[in-house]
Amino acid sequence: MKTKNIRPNLFSPLALMLVIETISVFVFGVFGASRDMVILMDAIFIIYALLESLEAATIFTLVSLPLFMALPLSSVSASFAEWRLLIIALFFNYINTVGWGKAFAMIAAPLRSFFAIPSRDLRKLITAVVALMGASLLSILAAHYKVTSLKQIIFYINVFLFFPPIYYIGKQSAAHALRLMWASVASLAVSLMVGFVQLAMVFFIPLHTFWMWWDAHFIELFYGTKLASLLSVSNTWFSFYKNDPPTIRIFGLFPDSHSFAIFGLIGLASALALGVHTWRKTTCNAKWFLVALVLLDVLSFILSGTRGVWAAAVLPLIIALAILLRRQVKLVRLAQITLAVLIAFAVMFPVSSFLLSKSQLVSYKNATGADYAFRRLTTIASFSDVSNLGRLDIWKGGLESFIHHPLIGIGIGNFPLALGDTISTLKEGASAHNLYLNFAVETGILGLAAFLWVLYRIGETVIVTVRRSVPEQGEQRVFLAFTFFFGIVFAWILVYNGVDVVLINDKVLLFFVSQLAILYSITKYIKQK
């Protein structure tokens, strides 16, 4: 591999870039920043991604996922996601690392390059992804807003460019793969740190004051003025209760609490796997950091108020119990850890209610917030809940659209038209609130089948790898643990997809693709029967 190892000191270019980025985000968010300053910082990050070693540039990008800002294209309102240019720069770094001659050969003879991929599982995944992209392109024929469709496809391609660098680094050696997992944990830690700081602010600031300040400072910095204007009048940052004032949710640097929760859920696989890896190392203090991180992550699921995540935990619970009941020896310990996490998840409900009541209800003498999390939990299947009723109406409209346009749908990215809305409502978060229905409506039965095929291939890789694995110590154990926990998280997300489309949020999808790339890169390190 042409990329050099990352220097493990605080003065390495990677460490300095992460410090610079963290300070700039804090300063820009709290004190504001000119358009030119933001562009200058973005230019520095892009140059770094182009010129630094591939490993260092990839880890920088992975750790920075929650911190990506919006690049202001004009002094008025237009903005462009910083990560788009950074991922493209990283991909060029990847091509330069593997060699331009090889890259051109792959482009000139794609079929030959495809069969040259040593991993059969990866070839199957690529086939399914290509089918999904093909169905998406076909749906443009039916799209009323064809430019919007093209933008959505370009978005997916831009995200998928993150896969090759991570896969390439991970398959170089077990040490490289471990560093990628630690980078994933660092990204999760950054997200949680900002999220809990955001939540703690309402100990001292009235809800409305916090809302306006955070929106004007951080939302505008990270997502542009258009979304900031929208969220200044309406958002999903609050949970509402009968006869009590609303409470703020935890959402950190994400536009909504649902994206924050799923980002945290995706990061759980790396955190748990590395916890298994470090637990028996008596001199390793990192294990206590990982334990604390997992507990805070689980607590954040509840503080996010994302009921879909709560309900979707049923499938991981069933999987863990099934493994324990069948006494599958090599998986028992991993199933026990999964069960322990789910028990901690349940225990966190009263903790969450306590925090909400103490942090936000001090000025309300008659507030009864001690059971807030439990009260929200009881509304999951309530037909009197406004949010639930809204989802039912959207699902009904989506199904009717699918029935009328069953083959290629109404065009990818055109879902609002299924409800009689304008395409501008996409900026307001309009979606099917069901990822499967979203693909069915936009790309028809062809696109839905291809999407399910992609999910099937991912699940198949996890199951086959775990079943055929031979339990061993050391690195074998951590990679098997990652594969298992990724499968648990994947099952959790599969259920959650039934009530939301958050998986295709840009930062969430980037994080998912990164963990997917790690999964496919480490299968070579897991000894098979």
Cβ-proximal residues to 117 (8 Å cutoff; 6+ apart), any chain: 123, 126
**Dihedral sign, CA of 73, 77, 82, 84?**
negative
Residue 3: inside a domain, yes or no? Answer: yes
Residue 52: inside a domain, yes or no? Answer: yes
Please tell me the predicted confidence (pLDDT) of residue 202.
Answer: 82
Query: Per the structure block, which two tokens stand in for 524?
Result: 């070579």
Q: Which pLDDT tens digit goes with each residue over 368-410?
A: 544 555 555 555 555 556 666 778 888 999 999 999 999 999 9
What is the total count of domains within the chain? 1
User: What is the distance in angstroms between the CA of the first residue and the CA of the last residue of the chain?
Assistant: 29
Residue 19: inside a domain, yes or no? Answer: yes
CA 202 – CA 247 distance, rounded (Å): 10
Burial of 87 (C-beta count, 10 Å sphere; 0-12/13-18/19+): buried
User: Which residues of the chain have a pLDDT value below 50?
Assistant: 1-7, 75-77, 361-367, 369-370
**Dihedral sign, CA of 285, 286, 290, 293?**
positive
CA 48 – CA 236 distance, rounded (Å): 36
Single-letter residue type at 446: L
Residue 357: inside a domain, yes or no? Answer: no
Neighbours of 7 (CB within 10 A): 12
Q: Which pLDDT tens digit goes with each residue over 194-234?
A: 999 998 888 888 888 888 999 888 888 888 888 888 888 77
Residue 217: inside a domain, yes or no? Answer: no
Domain that includes residue 36, residue range: 1-116
Residue 416: inside a domain, yes or no? Answer: no
Please tell me the predicted confidence (pLDDT) of residue 366.
Answer: 47
CA 136 – CA 163 distance, rounded (Å): 20
Residue 328: inside a domain, yes or no? Answer: no
Residue 27: inside a domain, yes or no? Answer: yes
pTM for this model (two decimals): 0.93
CA 282 to chain centre: 32
Strand partners, 469: 528
Residue 35 parent element (H or E): helix 35-51
